[in-house]
Amino acid sequence: MANSREKTRMLAMMGLLTAIVVVLQSVASVIKLGMFSIALVFIPIVVGAALYGWKAGTWLGFVFSVVVMFTDTALFMAVNPAGTVITVMLKGTLAGFCAAIVYKALEKKNLWLGTVLAAIACQAVNKVIFLLGCGIFFYPTVQEWAQNAGFNNTILYLIFGMTGLNSLVELAVNLSLSTAIVGIIDTAKRSHSKAI
């Protein structure tokens, strides 16, 4: 009976976190810094990954990717639709997966450190895969954008011109909310252990 109750609780929480990811990313798609919207979804992804492991983190990252596909990819779709789908789907999905792995590796040593590093890993994996996708699938286009923006070096443009400010704001949001995330995870874990 307790196992059935726990599964029901997990399904309800995952439904709630999935809805939060959809709403946050949909709202964020209209808040742009530079060329791209700010991803506000790393918090529910990290919470889901911490509470329910890599499957939950991967699922929430996947949902994030799907929302991005429908709200924030027109610029890249016009250049290379297949490259856009591959890059966007990989970056979000792997970000959620990696957040869960980092959290799991550190949770018993230090809950706060595990949560903070999971949030940083989530954002970092998302950005690194985006940058790799740009280099693999869109390099000539990005090179043209770099020249138009006055950059002589395309790599520097990718890092500082396309994602720099955006990444810093996302990191600041993640770090500033990390204490709240730790509290949510700690409370949820204690609640789960009492219910079982």
**Token duo for residue 143:** 């090179």
How many domains would you assign to the chain?
Answer: 1
Counting every residue, how long is the chain? 196
Who contacts 3 (Cβ-Cβ below 8 Å, separation ≥6)? none
pTM: predicted TM-score of the whole model, two decimal places? 0.85
CATH number of the domain bearing residue 111: 1.10.1760.20
What is the full per-residue pLDDT of the chain (196 aa) written as tens digits?
Answer: 558 888 888 899 899 999 999 998 888 777 666 666 666 788 899 989 989 999 999 999 999 999 999 988 888 999 999 999 999 999 999 999 999 999 999 988 988 888 889 989 998 999 999 999 999 999 999 999 889 988 888 888 888 877 777 777 777 777 777 667 777 777 776 776 665 5
Residue 154's domain comprises 2-195
What pLDDT score does 63 carry? 97
Of 93, 3, 106, nearest to 56 (Cα)? Answer: 93
134 vs 141: CA distance, rounded Å: 9
Residue 170 burial (C-beta neighbours within 10 Å; 0-12, 13-18, 19+): buried
Residue 82 burial (C-beta neighbours within 10 Å; 0-12, 13-18, 19+): exposed
What pLDDT score does 73 carry? 87
Q: Calculate Rg over the CA atoms of the chain.
A: 18
What pLDDT score does 192 carry? 61
Max Cα-Cα span within the chain: 64
